[in-house]
Amino acid sequence: MQIQDLPYPDPGVPDARSGPRFLWWLGRNQLGGQLKALAWGLLHFVAVSALPFCVGYAVQAVVDRSGERLALAGGLLALCGTATALGDTFLHRTAVTNWITAAARVQQLLARKAARLGSALTRRVAAGEVVAVSTGDVEKIGWFVEAVSRFTAAALTVVVVCVGLVVYQPALGVVVAVGLPVVALAALPLLPHATRRADVQREKAGRATELASDTVAGLRVLRGIGGEELFLDRYRHASQEVRRAAVRSAGMWALIAALQVLLPGLLLIVVVWYGVRLAREGRISVGELVTVYSSVMVLNYPLWHFQEIAMAYSFSRPSAKRAARVLSLERATDPAGTPSEGAETGAVPSGDLYDPATGLLVPEGLLTAVVCGDPDAAGRLAERLGGHAPEGGPSVLVGGVALDELPLEAARTAVLVQDKDPVLLSGSLRDLLDVPASGAIGAAEALAAAQCDDVLETLVQGSLGAADPLDAHITERGRSLSGGQRQRLALARSLLTDPEVLVLDEPTSAVDSHTEARIAEGVRRLRHGRTTVVFTSSPLLLDRADRVVLVHEGEVAAVGVHRDLVDTEPRYRAVVTRETDAEQARGELTGVEEIGELGELEEELEEIEETA
């Protein structure tokens, strides 16, 4: 896979059982790129390590006054220099390709998982963790994947050079062969401490990122209640904790780096001291001493990659663990594990929508309003109706078919859920409405039903040169629009898709009552004959629903039409009219007092009749 071939046609199915297994899976899926990087790395490192032999050969040729061997040494040096440059160039190119393609694969996997889970993702994983995985963690994982081939080439080069030195000059070669493993592995006892400190830093950085994300998302509300400075102080405190953790982590890595400088220096001193003694005794030549000395000097370069791979692994391991945790999330399935009849075919089901957990039944083709006293419970129920049941929970049925057992495409075609806080991506209005749709409803009809006339005017005024409202630009998350305008655009987008079942969670909570009444009529008209579920407590929407269901404490408590339920169901009336417990108690007490007064009046009438 080359960079120009990205994205992957299919990023594959990752091994998300653990962070190390995920890294191993990434490496196996880039075996071709790893082998290329290994080959170029071996060419580069071996050429660099061969330079001392050429230099030693040249020095000995000068000592022996041999012009022929000196010319040969010059030719070998030129050949090694060319191989070094060629190997370094293509090693860097191949390693960067491995890095970018690995990071792109992870990003594609995360994007596919986010599309598969939808809004359930941020309910099961913190939003800050998702942001951290899709940004910084992706780069760290890519770093480790591309560093593996360089480290392997460096390790093989060290082995080859040690063997070569032992053969070339056994007396000094044995010293180098024994000393180099000690130098390379001396930092191993410090790696667990460095890894733990790096993990603490990543954990604190993740919390700071999550806090920053939540603060930015709620900045408008925080300013309204005067809590902006409070949350900024919390973020400053969190960022200072990250700084202190980073300093502690950097201190440990600095110690490891110092050992990587100190120990090769000590080895070099030992080699020079022992080599000078051997040269004075006449057991080795000057050229051999120069060769061994230069080899130890040059080997510091491949030895540095031992430190790099240790750093890359310690930094990428928690990142891979977080990525694996996100990628291991799956759509909930029927605990019994037996596919429902019709689920195996993958066809889009039709029929009544039924939730076994609450007993909610939504008849096909009707507009059903659902009233929940708890907004969070309403959000969870809407999520479940979209096919995202909690772990171990029963699946919602559409026409008797378990929704979460269907292929994702069929499930999304069958049921569309619009969250209470929908997201508008930046771009033109035409891009916003460019969504998979049945084609039965046009953009103009959807916008009209959602009462978006003033929204279109606002977009045109804010976009220079946009004669057509569909070409008007929408800023990131629709920040230039009010909450009600964003809601209406999102509603138009949902109506345009024209799914078999449309679930709307508080679609008009941010609009005024007049606009809300017109939206209710527009939705009822446009969705006529289609199954629609609206989670709301607004009387304007409830009065236009074919069927109203009250869900109380996780179960269906009452079913009927709005006006009947207001008169006969106190719990429904309390939610819809915002009646408090005290007001309800006073109403009951007033009713009791009226009954008592009526009884006293009847007794007085009976006494009058007896007297008469």
What CA dihedral angle connects 593, 596, 597 and 598, to 10 degrees? 120
Q: Does residue 349 contact residue 414 with C-beta atoms inside 8 Å?
A: yes
- pLDDT band of residue 608 (cuts 50, 70, 90) is low
If you compute the radius of gyration of the chain from its CA atoms, what whole number of angstroms results? 36
- Res. 86: pLDDT tops 90: yes
- pLDDT band of residue 604 (cuts 50, 70, 90) is low
- Res. 462: pLDDT tops 90: no
- Res. 424: pLDDT tops 60: yes
In whole angstroms, give the CA distance from residue 212 to residue 36: 41
What local confidence, expressed as pLDDT, does residue 544 receive?
A: 92
Hey, what amino acid is at 578? R
Does an H or E element contain 384, and which? helix 375-385
Mean pLDDT, the chain, as a whole number?
81
Q: Does residue 567 contact residue 362 with C-beta atoms inside 8 Å?
A: no
DSSP string of 58-117, one letter each residue: HHHHHHTT-HHHHHHHHHHHHHHHHHHHHHHHHHHHHHHHHHHHHHHHHHHHHHHHHHHH
Q: How far lies 261's CA from each of 161, 254, 497, in Å?
A: 20, 11, 64
- pLDDT band of residue 362 (cuts 50, 70, 90) is very high
Q: Does residue 550 contact residue 565 with C-beta atoms inside 8 Å?
A: yes
What local confidence, expressed as pLDDT, does residue 527 receive?
A: 92
For residue range 102-118, list pLDDT tens digits in order: 888 888 888 888 877 76
- Res. 580: pLDDT tops 70: no
Question: Which of 48-52, 62-66, 185-189, 236-240 is predicted with the least confidence, judged by mean pLDDT?
Answer: 185-189
Tokens found for residue 182: 């000690």
Count the residues in the chain: 612
For residue range 192-210, list pLDDT tens digits in order: 888 788 778 877 877 777 7
| pLDDT > 70 in the chain, percent | 85
Only one residue has tokens 């030195």, namely 165
What local confidence, expressed as pLDDT, does residue 129 receive?
A: 66
- pLDDT band of residue 592 (cuts 50, 70, 90) is very low
What local confidence, expressed as pLDDT, does residue 390 receive?
A: 60
Only one residue has tokens 């029927």, namely 334
What local confidence, expressed as pLDDT, does residue 607 receive?
A: 61
For residue range 39-78, list pLDDT tens digits in order: 999 998 888 888 888 888 888 888 888 888 889 988 988 9
In whole angstroms, give the CA distance from residue 255 to residue 251: 6
- Res. 387: pLDDT tops 60: yes
For residue range 211-226, list pLDDT tens digits in order: 776 666 655 555 556 5
Apex 399 CA angle, 393 and 404, nearest 5? 35
- pLDDT band of residue 321 (cuts 50, 70, 90) is confident
Q: Is 365 helix (H, G, I), strand (E, B) or coil?
A: coil
What local confidence, expressed as pLDDT, does residue 524 receive?
A: 93
Q: How far lies 181's CA from each of 174, 186, 229, 299, in Å?
A: 12, 8, 55, 12
| pTM above threshold 0.75 | no
Say how many C-beta atoms besides its own lie within 10 A of residue 118's C-beta: 18
What local confidence, expressed as pLDDT, does residue 257 receive?
A: 81
Q: How far lies 330's CA from each of 16, 318, 402, in Å?
A: 11, 21, 16
Question: Which of 84-88, 102-106, 195-199, 351-355 is predicted with the least confidence, judged by mean pLDDT?
Answer: 195-199
Mean pLDDT, to the nearest integer, of 425-432?
84
- pLDDT band of residue 337 (cuts 50, 70, 90) is very low
